[in-house]
Structure 1
Amino acid sequence: MGFLPYHFLHPTFNNRSDEYGGSLENRSRLMRELITEMKSVAGDKAAIAVRISTDELLSFKSESSKSEAHEFFELNGELPDLWDIKLSKWSKECPSSRFSEPGHMEPYNGFVKQLTSKPVVGVGWFTSPDNMVSQINRGILDFVGSARASIADPFLPNKILEGKEDDIRECIGCNICASCYNQGIPVRCTQNPSMGEEWRRGWHPERIKPKSSDNSVLVIGGGPAGLEATLSLARRGYPVAIADSEKELGGRINKESILPGMSPYKRVTDYRVSQINQMDNVDIYLENKLNPDDVLKLGFDHVVTATGSVWQPSIMDEKTAPIAITKTNSILTPEDVLKGCELTSPVIIFDFDYYYMGGLLAEFIKDLGHEVTIITPFEKVSPWSFNSNEVTEIKLKLLEKGIKAITDHRIIEIEESSVRINHEVSNKQKDITRGSLVLVGNRKQNDSLYKSLKSNQEALKASGIKTLQNIGDSNAPGAVVHAVYAGHLYANTFDQEDGDSINEFKLEYPVIQ
Structure 2
Amino acid sequence: MSDDPLLQPYRLKHLTLKNRLMLTSHEPAYAEDGMPKERYRAYHAERARGGVALTMTAGSASVSRDSPPAFNNILAWKDEVVGWMRALADECHDHGCAVMIQLTHLGRRTRYDAGDWLPSVAAGAHREPAHRAVPKVVEAWDIARIIRDYADAAERMQAAGLDGIEIESYGHFMDQFWSPALNDLGAPWGGDLGARMRFALETLRAVRDRVGPNFIVGIRYAGDEAMPGGVTKAEGLEISRRLTESGLVDFLNVIRGHIDTDAALTDVIPVQGMRSAPHLDFAGEIRAATGLPTFHAARIQDVATARHAVATGKLDMVGMTRAHIAEPHIVAKILRGEEDRIRPCVGANYCLDRIYQGGAALCIHNPSTGRELEQPQEIAPAEAARRVVIVGAGPGGLEAARVAALRGHEVIVHEAANDPGGQVRLTAQTPRRSEMMSLVDWRVAECERLGVTFRYNSFAEGEEVRADAPDVVIVATGGLPHTELLAEGNDRVVSSWDIISGDVRPGANVLIWDEAGDQAGLQAAERIAETGAAVEIVTRDRTFAPEVMGMSLTPAMRQLQKHDVTFTVTWKLDAVAPEGNALRATLGSDYGGVTRTRQVDQVVVNGGTRPFDEVYFDLRDGSSNLGEVDHNALIAGAPQRIARNPAGAYQLFRIGDAVSPRNTHAAIYDALRLLRTV
TM superposition score normalised by structure 2: 0.66
In the aligned structure 1, how far is the partner of 2:498 from the partner of 2:590? 28
Distance in 2 (alpha carbons) for counterparts of 1:450 and 1:294: 13
Please give the per-residue CA displacement for 1:221-249, whole angstroms capped at 9, x wherever unaligned: 10011000000110111111111111111
Superposition deviation, residue 436 in structure 1: 2.1
Q: Which has the higher contact order (CA 8 A, sep 6+)?
A: 1
1:415 corresponds, among 566, 577, 580, to 577
**How much has 1:426 moved relative to structure 2?**
7.6
**Structure 2 counterpart of 1:291, which letter?**
E
Q: Work out whether residues 623 and 649 of structure 2, in 8 Å CA contact, stay in contact via their aligned partners in 1.
A: no
Confirm or deny: 8 A CA contact 1:58 1:68 kept in the other structure: no
Match of 1:277 in 2: 448
Please report how far the alpha carbon of residue 15 of structure 1 lies from its aligned counterpart in structure 2 after TM superposition.
3.2
**Equivalent AA in structure 1 for residue 181 of structure 2:** T
1:351-362 equivalence runs, <5 A: 351-362=514-525
AA at the equivalent of 2:195: N
Answer whether contact 2:490 2:576 (CA < 8 A) is retained.
no
Is 1:253 aligned with 2:424? yes
Alignment match, 1:310: 480
Corresponding residue for residue 53 of structure 1: 222
Q: Is the 8 A contact 2:302 2:344 kept in 1?
A: yes
User: Which whole-Å deviations, capped at 9, do the CAs of 1:57-116 have from their partners, x for residues lacking one?
Assistant: 775488xx9632122123223441111123431444334314x22213347635322321
1:440 matched to 2:601? The reply is: no
Q: Which amino acid aligns with 1:153?
A: E
CA contact (8 A) 1:221 1:243 kept: yes
Deviation at 1:482, TM superposition (A): 0.8
> Where does residue 467 of structure 2 map in the other structure?
297
Q: Aligned partners of 1:336, 1:359: CA distance in 2, in Å?
A: 13
Correspondent of 2:674 among 487, 490, 505: 490
Alignment-derived partner of residue 380 in structure 1? 543
Shift in alpha-carbon separation, 1:230–1:458, aligned structure 2, 3 A: closer
Q: Which residue of 1 aligns with 2:338?
A: 164
Q: Quick one: which amino acid aligns to residue 5 of structure 1?
A: M
Return closer, same or farther for 1:110/1:424 CA change in 2, 3 Å cut-off. farther
Deviation of 1:118 after TM superposition, in Å, equals 0.8
User: Cα deviation per residue 1:465-496 (whole Å; 9 max; x = unaligned)?
Assistant: 33111111101211111111111122113x3x
- 1:131-175 deviations in Å (ceiling 9; x for gaps): 222333444332221221101000112223333221010111111
Q: 1:58 to 1:353 in 2, by over 3 A?
A: closer
Q: Which moved more, 1:218-227 or 1:173-182?
A: 173-182
- For residue 478 of structure 1, give the secondary structure of its aligned residue in structure 2: coil
The separation in 1 between residues aligned to 2:415 and 2:561, in whole angstroms, is: 39
CA contact (8 A) 1:348 1:372 kept: yes
Show the counterpart of 2:275: 101
Q: Which residue of structure 1 lines up, in the alignment, with residue 201 of structure 2?
A: 32
SS in 2 for 1:88: coil
Distance 1:32 1:458 in 2: 70
Report the alpha carbon displacement of residue 126 of structure 1 after superposing the two structures with TM: 1.6
Q: Distance in 2 between matches of 1:18 and 1:293?
A: 82
- Equivalent residues, number: 478
- The letter of the residue matching 2:250 is D
Tell me the alpha carbon deviations over residues 245-283 of structure 1, each in whole angstroms, 9 at most, x when there is no partner.
111111111111112411110011010011111123x21
Whether 1:175 and 2:344 are equivalent positions in the alignment is no
Contact 2:227 2:258 in 1 (8 A): no
Offset of residue 411 of structure 1 = 1.3
Q: For residue 98 of structure 2, what is the aligned residue in structure 1? A: none
DSSP-derived class of the 2:561 partner = helix
The amino acid of 2:491's aligned partner reads K
Instruction: Look up the SS of the partner of 1:121 in the other structure.
Output: strand
Query: 1:314–1:439: 8 Å Cα contact kept in structure 2?
Result: no
Q: Which deviates more, 40-49 or 411-420?
A: 40-49
Is 1:286 the counterpart of 2:456 in the alignment? yes
Q: Which residue among 238, 241, 244 is the counterpart of 1:74?
A: 241
Unaligned runs of 5+ in 1: 317-322, 496-513
The answer for unaligned runs of 5 or more in structure 2 is 1-169, 260-264, 627-644
Indicate how the Cα distance of structure 1 residues 4 and 462 shifts in structure 2: closer, same or farther if over 3 A, else same: closer
AA in 2 matched with 1:143: M
1:413 alignment partner AA: A
Which residue of 1 is the match for residue 491 of structure 2?
A: 327
Query: After alignment, is 114-123 or 474-483 more displaced?
Result: 114-123
Instruction: State the AA in 2 paired with 1:97.
Output: Q
> 1:32-75: per-residue Cα shift (whole Å, max 9, x none)?
2222332343334321111112342775488xx96321221232
CA shift at 1:458, angstroms? Answer: 8.5
CA-based RMSD of the aligned residues comes to 2.6
CA distance in 1, matches of 2:561, 2:619: 49
- For 1:211, the equivalent position in structure 2 comes to 382
Report if the CA contact (8 A) 1:348-1:374 is conserved: yes
Conserved? CA contact 2:180–2:230, under 8 Å: no
Kindly indicate whether the alpha-carbon contact (under 8 Å) linking 2:622 and 2:650 is maintained by their aligned counterparts in 1: no
Per-residue Cα deviation, 1:391-422 (whole angstroms, up to 9, x for no partner): 45543432123322222221122122221223
2:223–2:240 contact (8 Å) kept in structure 1: no
- 8 Å CA contact 2:223–2:239 kept in 1: the answer is no
* Correspondence for 1:143 among 293, 296, 317: 317
Report which stretch shifted further, 72-81 or 241-250: 72-81
Write the letter of the residue equivalent to 2:349.
N
Distance 1:245-1:227 versus aligned 2 partners, 3 A rule: same
Tell me, in whole angstroms, the C-alpha distance in 1 between the residues paired with 2:651 and 2:624.
13
Query: Which deviations, in whole Å up to 9, do the C-alpha atoms of 1:340-392 show, x marking residues without a partner?
Result: 22323222211121222111110122234543322222233212323x52345
Distance 1:236 1:13 in 2: 57
Does the 8 A contact of 1:217 with 1:240 survive in 2?
yes
* Farther off after superposition, 34-43 or 250-259: 34-43
Please state whether the residue corresponding to 2:194 is helix, strand or coil: helix
Q: What is aligned with 2:513? A: 350
2:453 aligned counterpart, secondary structure: strand
Sort the Cα spacing of 1:66 and 1:448 in 2 relative to 1 into closer, same or farther, 3 A: closer
TM-score of the superposed pair, with normalisation by structure 1: 0.86
CA distance in 1, matches of 2:440, 2:650: 29
Contact 2:516 2:606 in 1 (8 A): yes
